A and B are shown apart, each in its own frame.
Chain A
Amino acid sequence: MAFSFPDEVLEHVFSFIQSDKDRNAVSMVCKSWYEIERWCRRKVFVGNCYAVSPRMVIRRFPEFRSIELKGKPHFADFNLVPDGWGGYVFPWIEEMAGAYPWLEEIRLKRMVVTDESLELIAKSFKNFKVLVLSSCEGFSTDGLAAIAASCKNLKELDLRDCEVDDLSAHWLSHFPETYTSLVSLNISCLGSDEVSFSALERLVGRCTNLKTLRLNRAVPLDKISNILRHAPQLVEFGTGTYTADVRPDVYSDLAGAFSSCKELKSLSGFWDVVPDYLPAIYPVCSKLTSLNLSYATIQSPDLIKLVSHCPNLQRLLVLDYIEDSGLEVLASSCKDLQELRVFPSDPFGAEPNVSLTEQGLVAVSLGCPKLQSVLYFCRRMSNEALVTIARNRPNFTRFRLCIIEPKTADYLTLEPLDVGFGAIVQYCKDLKRLSLSGLLTDRVFEYIGTYAKKLEMLSVAFAGDSDLGLHHVLSGCESLRKLEIRDCPFGDKALLANAAKLETMRSLWMSSCAVSFAACKLLGQKMPRLNVEVIDERGPPDSRPENCPVDKLYIYRSIAGPRCDMPPFVWTMDEDSGLRL
């Protein structure tokens, strides 16, 4: 005898389940749960916009309010994906505009967004509330003006790290005088002239719910005081350019303005920073949990002073000007630190310009018990240091180390860093993300395949000796979703032997490796649910011998079949390509 709850009860229970993974699991229990779940899913996440078509999403989830889409592969951030590769959002907006007048939230990452798309969003969704564009490009201030003018209920406009064509500084004025619902505004990516100060001040003044405001570089230091006084309720604030001639009246104005912000928890910006003006933020430092100084070109002593004022810091982004000495102070002052990112101030210099070594990372790992996420650029490393770090900080979930010179050996023993990274994966049992660098043999991949059972994303560059390395990873890492590889001697064998694994992952990127065109064709032929895309700007891959390695390879699972918007330098290996062999 079947026992079941009425649909309404199940729907009510499901409404407490927010995470996509859980929702997906729920939908697989049985057909009736699948049906109920699909009607009440409100947030849809599509990790690869080409894995599924807009129509398929709309058909399955008839009533979603929020969608998140990701486009280009991660390595696009580093110029490895040529312009025009794809990731266009317009087809999605077009389909949703017809089906979903009640859509409220759109979040996009690494997608091409045109003004046409923005205008269509503004026109189609009457209750539109949230637009987050992360590392997107293809639009101008005209598109932003359309959003500002039409979206009366807009709460969030976040343009983090986008490339925007500046055509007019006046797009902000398109927010009507009656518009007051803004809660979050991030325009830090806009160029010099893309903002009108008076419009900004008026907007900030009338939006009393504004909690997040990240300004762009064009906003001068002396304007900050006014803006802060209009918005003392701010929780997150990003300055513009933080430089001016040192004047006591400007300084005290600024310090006063910061003091009036009792809720401030996060600061960023600090372009062109002049150290004399830094103490103006001291009044808010004790409450700060997040500090982004990754554009602040100030030296270690000033950074140390600043960091010592922030005992509650949980997240710090900083340039390597902080040096080992600064990281030691961080380790002793900031016991709540969870995330640290140290960026290189001079990534292309041949010689180190700062005294930042593996010691800084060791100090922070020892001193900060809650540290779980690290991105660290440095110029030397040792197995000893990595083993120490792994033993002391087994709670790492994200560990990304970039030793600037490729194939750098352990500086103490001149050995590969296999053992060090091996310790990381062995001790850090919850590691979800790992980026490798330095001199590495197939051995490190054996460790990774053996121990990194929770690893979801792996980034590899200039490492390994043979296909065995790739085989260890593909056959051993059970939770692997994204694998990106560049300049490694990995070829056909491991890829073909683990073809089935690729269907359990979101995507695989391989560039400047040794995978032949013949292998790509074979893979495309044998695996219909994979899109095997060859990216090669030298010309058609079949104009060269089949055993020639392809320049770049991007493989991803898809139920939408090969895409139709490929540029001339991308070829998809589909089932038919086998016939042409």
Chain B
Amino acid sequence: MLSRTHFIYISACVAAFSPSCLLSFSVAAMQVTEAFKHAFLKQMLLGFQASAVSTNSMGFQERKNAIKLSADVAMAVARGSRKWTRGLIAGLSEEQQNRSFLQLILGEQYERRLMKPCYSSWKIPRCRKIVRRSLRVCCRRQKKKKNQSGVLARTLVEKRTQQLKRLVPGGESMDGFSLLDETLDYVLSLRAQVDLMQSLLTTVESSKLRSHSKRTLPERKASYVGK
């Protein structure tokens, strides 16, 4: 009953997917494993199915958002439990419309994941801000004259760090070191996501071309019309 097109579909996805990840594999061998890719792909397709993107009742924007949503959720789920994954899911569930989808996909894990980052997400930055403010006050009292270039470099780095914190999901509640750590992880996962979606796209398009070229067979037409 299962069509071979689907096998080829998925297998082409994975086959096309694996060589492109070898580069990241050599640099950070721990992350982009076969299991991760499989879990990612499977979760993404589950997500597509759950949000029913293949039916036509959605507009284009809706479909695009649904695809992106399921891709992001798949990435977070496949990666496991990291700070950025928790931040990502928390960020996605901010919007009401995503919640039903998330509930569907994650099931009972969803509530658990929601509860987790709440604790750390606002307390730590607040404490850190307080500490920093007091430090700044102390420094200002102690030394009036500062190293100009040092200050400039530091503020540049500060600005960049703030920007990076906005980019990486869940980044606000991380300190400098774990921010870099999570960025590393996040970049690898993003790369994997891009590769996966790219290969999915090419497979879909190529199979579309193939089915397009096959449409001239007459007996199939007759069988369709007959029924």
**A and B pair up:** no
B residues engaging A (CB < 8 A)? none
